[in-house]
Amino acid sequence: MGVRDAIHRNAPLGKPTAMSAPHLPKVAGIDPMVPVSTHTAAPLKSVPPAPAAFIQDRLASWVSDLTTLHELTERLAGTSTLDDALHELLGAGAALVGARRGLLVLEPADGAVPCRTIGLGLAHAELGHIETVPRDATPYGRLLDGLPDTDAPLASPDILGDTSTDPRCREVAARLGYAASYALPLATEATGRLGAAVWLYDEPAEPLERQCHLVGLYARYAAEHVARLAELERARADVAVIAEELLPSRLPRLPGVRLAVRHRSTARGGGDWYDAMPLPDNALGLAVGSVGGSGPAALAAVGRLRAGLRAYAVMEGEDPVAVLSDLELLLRLTEPATAATALYAYCEPDRRTVLLAGAGHTPPLVTGDRRTAFVETSLSAPLGMLPCWEAPSVEFSPGPGETVLLYTDGLLRRTGDSTDRAFARLHAAAAGVPKVLRQDPGALADHVLRTVLPDGLDPSDGGEDVVLLAARFD
Q: Considering the domain boundaries, does residue 191 fall inside one?
A: yes
CA 117 to chain centre: 15
10, pLDDT greater than 60: no
- For residue 346, the SS3 value is strand
What's the pLDDT score for residue 31?
A: 43
More confident residue, 75 or 64: 75
- Cα gap 311→400, rounded to integer Å: 31
What's the pLDDT score for residue 36?
A: 43
- For residue 119, the SS3 value is strand
Number of Cβ atoms within 10 Å of the Cβ of 385: 15
Work out the average pLDDT over 160-180: 94
Asked if 250 and 233 touch (Cβ cutoff 8 Å), the reply is no
CA dist 74 → 79, 184, 190, 460 (Å): 9, 21, 22, 21
Last residue of a domain, one of 185, 208, 240: 240
75, pLDDT greater than 80: yes
Are 217 and 263 contained in the same domain?
no
More confident residue, 110 or 118: 118
Are 270 and 316 contained in the same domain?
yes
Are 361 and 458 contained in the same domain?
yes
Any idea what DSSP says for residue 431? H
Q: Would strands 180-188 and 394-396 be described as parallel, antiparallel, or unpaired?
A: unpaired
- Whole-number percent of the chain with pLDDT over 70: 85
| pLDDT band at 46; cut points 50, 70, 90 | low
117, pLDDT greater than 60: yes
- Cα gap 191→226, rounded to integer Å: 11
Give the least confident one: 39-48, 73-82, 92-101, 341-350: 39-48
Q: What CATH number did the domain enclosing 378 receive?
A: 3.60.40.10
- For residue 265, the SS3 value is coil
Are 202 and 292 contained in the same domain?
no
176, pLDDT greater than 90: yes
What's the pLDDT score for residue 457?
A: 61
- Cα gap 404→368, rounded to integer Å: 9
Report pTM. Answer: 0.66
Give the least confident one: 17-31, 62-76, 124-138: 17-31
Q: How many domains does the chain have?
A: 2
- Alpha-helical (H) ranges within 190-319 are 209-245, 296-316
**In sequence order, what are the residues at sequence separation of 6 or more whose Cβ sits closer than 8 angstroms to the Cβ of residue 56?**
none
The partner residues of 473 in beta bridges, in order of sequence, read: 257
Are 207 and 70 contained in the same domain?
yes
- Cα gap 103→197, rounded to integer Å: 6
Q: What CATH number did the domain enclosing 138 receive?
A: 3.30.450.40
| pLDDT band at 462; cut points 50, 70, 90 | low
Q: Considering the domain boundaries, does residue 15 fall inside one?
A: no
How many residues appear in the chain? 474
The partner residues of 278 in beta bridges, in order of sequence, read: 284
- Alpha-helical (H) ranges within 98-205 are 124-131, 139-145, 167-176
Are 138 and 254 contained in the same domain?
no
Which segment, 135-139, 177-181, 408-412, is predicted with the most confidence on average? 177-181
- Cα gap 128→122, rounded to integer Å: 10
48, pLDDT greater than 90: no
Q: Considering the domain boundaries, does residue 22 fall inside one?
A: no
- Cα gap 174→216, rounded to integer Å: 28
Burial (Cβ within 10 Å: 0-12, 13-18, ≥19) of residue 30: middle
218, pLDDT greater than 60: yes
- Cα gap 391→319, rounded to integer Å: 12
| pLDDT band at 237; cut points 50, 70, 90 | confident
Q: Considering the domain boundaries, does residue 11 fall inside one?
A: no
CA dist 9 → 2, 4, 15, 22, 387 (Å): 11, 9, 15, 12, 116
- Cα gap 345→404, rounded to integer Å: 11
Are 217 and 293 contained in the same domain?
no
Are 335 and 454 contained in the same domain?
yes
Are 300 and 231 contained in the same domain?
no
| Short-list 197, 134, 142, 145, CA closest to 171 | 134
Asked if 403 and 352 touch (Cβ cutoff 8 Å), the reply is no
463, pLDDT greater than 80: no
- Cα gap 466→359, rounded to integer Å: 18
Burial (Cβ within 10 Å: 0-12, 13-18, ≥19) of residue 316: middle
Spell out where 101-191 has E strands.
101-106, 116-120, 154-156, 180-188
Number of Cβ atoms within 10 Å of the Cβ of 42: 8
The partner residues of 181 in beta bridges, in order of sequence, read: 156, 200
Asked if 285 and 346 touch (Cβ cutoff 8 Å), the reply is yes
Are 236 and 252 contained in the same domain?
no
Last residue of a domain, one of 172, 206, 240: 240
Q: Which structural domain, as residue segments, surrounds residue 268?
A: 248-473
- Cα gap 320→164, rounded to integer Å: 77
More confident residue, 165 or 2: 165
In degrees to the nearest 10, what's the CA dihedral of 17, 18, 23, 28? Answer: 120
Are 225 and 258 contained in the same domain?
no
Last residue of a domain, one of 208, 240, 272: 240
Q: Considering the domain boundaries, does residue 106 fall inside one?
A: yes
Instruction: List pLDDT tens digits, range 187-213.
Output: 999 889 999 999 999 999 999 999 999
Could you give phi then psi for residue 181, rounded to 5 degrees? Answer: -150, 160
What's the pLDDT score for residue 458?
A: 57
Instruction: List pLDDT tens digits, range 277-324.
Output: 999 999 999 999 998 777 777 888 888 889 999 999 999 878 999 999
The partner residues of 19 in beta bridges, in order of sequence, read: none
Are 440 and 319 contained in the same domain?
yes
CA-atom Rg of the chain in angstroms: 39
More confident residue, 267 or 233: 233
35, pLDDT greater than 50: no
Could you give phi then psi for residue 199, rounded to 5 degrees? Answer: -110, 140
What's the pLDDT score for residue 258?
A: 97
Instruction: List pLDDT tens digits, range 328-365.
Output: 888 888 877 778 899 999 999 999 999 999 998 999 99
Q: Considering the domain boundaries, does residue 327 fall inside one?
A: yes
Average of per-residue pLDDT values in the chain: 85
What's the pLDDT score for residue 295?
A: 74
